[in-house]
Amino acid sequence: MAYMTDRKRANGLGSAHSGAHHHWQIIVSSVVLLVLVPLFVFTFGRVYGEPFEVALIYMSRPFPAVVAGLTILVGFYHFAIGARSAVEDYLGGWTRKLVLIGVNFLCLALAGYGLFAIARLALLPLPPM
Amino acid sequence: MADVNRGNRPLSPFMFGQYYRPQWTSMTSIANRITGLSLIVAAFLVVWYLAGLSVGGRSFEVANGVITSWFGDIVMTLSVYALWYHTLAGVRHLIWDTGRMLRVDQAETAGKVIVAAAAVLTVITVIVC
């Protein structure tokens, strides 16, 4: 008992008998996003709206590409858990189940599409100028 | 029993409207959830843009046209505020989780700081980007 962490001690004691894991996951991902979000805002934010070639060359560079990829990965993970807690607060029964499936589907689809786009941007040879 | 000392106890936030007086603590809390959930719109636009950029041609023109339209500008500017607000509110949660700043007056002050600081960061972002 003396060596148990506070999180372990709280595990399973809530009315739902679970949830501490999700809480911990959202905290860990929020710390990661605290680093990624400013980097993403001031890399992606500077380049969108620029002409095609400018944006293409910029987003093909390693740093903006890695920042965008990681932000998408961790961001949608964070959103999926956060949206889940909101859905569980306000919806019940079948509506809850269907909306949760929809939220996870949306997050997975957008994350998959986003990661594919970044991989393609970063790995495809640039068109001749 | 039912009418024994109703006292000056707090009411449930679900009694919004005529019974519930808005407070900085509850309002900044619900705003954290609203900003987090609403960021899915900007996330969708960003993934759309990156997908268009990776394909080029007409796909880029459409995605770039949407995200830089007047509608896109409004959504992205509001989303920048939502992103900074949610980030700072997340920092407040991380501080709370260490057991600090939990007194009501401290939490209220932190909430006011978050609302103002997010506005300042939004202006900086719009100027820099």
Q: Do A37 and B83 touch (CB under 8 A)?
A: yes
Domains of chain A: 20-123 (1.20.1300.10)
Average pLDDT of the segment spanning B49-67: 95
Percent of chain A with pLDDT over 90: 73
> Cβ–Cβ contacts within 10 Å for residue A25, how many?
14
CA gap B87, A15 in Å, rounded: 29
Q: Say if residue A38's pLDDT is above 80.
A: yes
Helices (H) and strands (E) in chain B, counts: 4, 0
Percent of chain A with pLDDT over 70: 95
CA gap A107, A92 in Å, rounded: 21
pLDDT of residue B4: 59
pLDDT of residue B22: 82
Q: Say if residue B1's pLDDT is above 50.
A: no
pLDDT of residue A118: 96
Closest CB from A34, A42, A86 relative to B87? A34
Domain B24-128 has CATH 1.20.1300.10: yes
pLDDT of residue A12: 78
Q: Say if residue A70's pLDDT is above 60.
A: yes
Chain B: closest CA distance from residue A79 (Å): 7
pLDDT in tens, B87-128: 999 999 999 999 999 999 999 999 999 999 999 999 999 999
Domain boundaries, chain B: 24-128
pLDDT of residue A5: 85
ipTM reported for the complex, 2 dp: 0.87
Tokens of B119: 């506005």
In chain B, % helix, strand, coil (3-state, to 5) comes to 75, 0, 20
Chain A: closest CA distance from residue B91 (Å): 8
Q: Say if residue B10's pLDDT is above 90.
A: no
pLDDT of residue B13: 60
pLDDT of residue A39: 97
- Which of B40, B41, B46, B76 to mutate to probe the A interface, most A CBs <10 Å? B46
What is the interface size between A and B, counted as CB pairs within 8 Å?
A: 87
pLDDT of residue B12: 62
- Residues 6 or more apart from A116 whose CB is under 8 A from it? B51, B54
- The three-point CA angle A59-A62-A65 to 5° equals 45
Tokens of B71: 């509608």
Cα distances from B27 to residues A6, B13, B115, in angstroms, run 29, 10, 11
CA A85 to chain centre: 15
